């Protein structure tokens, strides 16, 4: 199936939602042990566009988004970028089937995508320390990110009129 080119409005929507996802993911909600676990909205946005408009998320854009995420988060530079790139390769391989599937299937695929990204990023952030980082905070963020995908996807589908309703 031949993919049609993206309209200017779609490109603007992809850019705006990606920047918004990066900004929301970087919001500080407390510090230390009292900090609120916040979803990684960037992963929600990237996954949504990889499935619904794969031409709008080329590999170079994924690398750039991952690099910006690394710079914002303060983790090991390149860890998030590599994790996002590897996770996105799995999504791109199944994007044609996912776009036609029911929401539950896409959500299940999102769980796998987020698990891959979080696991790779956790491993790469642990390597320089020569000991594993605590897994509780990344696991909690994994859970809230998985939960956040449904409202993000519904909002995008209703407001932007992208994908199945």
Radius of gyration (Cα) for the chain, nearest Å?
16
Q: Would you state the pLDDT for residue 2?
A: 53
Q: Would you state the pLDDT for residue 18?
A: 95
Distance CA 140, CA 164 (A): 29
| Per-residue pLDDT tens listing for the chain (165 residues) | 456 688 899 899 999 999 999 999 888 765 555 566 789 999 999 999 999 999 999 999 999 999 999 998 877 899 999 999 999 999 999 988 998 899 999 999 999 999 999 999 999 988 887 777 777 778 888 999 999 999 999 999 888 877 654
Distances (CA, A) of 54 to 10, 29, 60, 64, 126: 11, 32, 12, 16, 31
Are 69 and 84 spatial neighbours (Cβ–Cβ below 8 Å)? yes
What is the pTM (predicted TM-score) of this model? Answer: 0.89
Q: Is 119 exposed, middle or buried (0-12, 13-18, 19+ CB in 10 A)?
A: middle
CB atoms within 10 A of CB 125: 19
Residue 134 has which token pair? 């605590």
- The ranges assigned to domains in the chain are 41-160
């Amino acid at each position: 199936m031949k993919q049609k080119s993206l309209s200017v409005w779609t490109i603007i929507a992809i850019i705006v939602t990606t920047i918004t996802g990066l900004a929301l993911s970087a919001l500080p909600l407390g510090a230390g042990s009292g900090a609120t676990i916040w979803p990684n909205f960037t992963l929600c946005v990237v996954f949504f566009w990889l499935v619904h408009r794969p031409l709008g998320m080329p590999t170079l854009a994924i690398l750039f988004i991952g690099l910006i995420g690394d710079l914002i988060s303060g983790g090991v530079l390149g860890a998030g970028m590599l994790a996002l790139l590897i996770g996105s390769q799995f999504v791109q391989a199944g994007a044609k089937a996912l776009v036609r599937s029911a929401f539950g299937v896409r959500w299940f695929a999102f769980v796998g995508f987020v698990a891959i990204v979080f696991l790779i990023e956790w491993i790469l952030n642990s390597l320089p320390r020569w000991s594993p980082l605590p897994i509780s905070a990344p696991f909690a963020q994994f859970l809230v990110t998985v939960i956040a995908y449904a409202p993000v996807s519904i909002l995008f589908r209703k407001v932007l009129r992208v994908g199945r309703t």
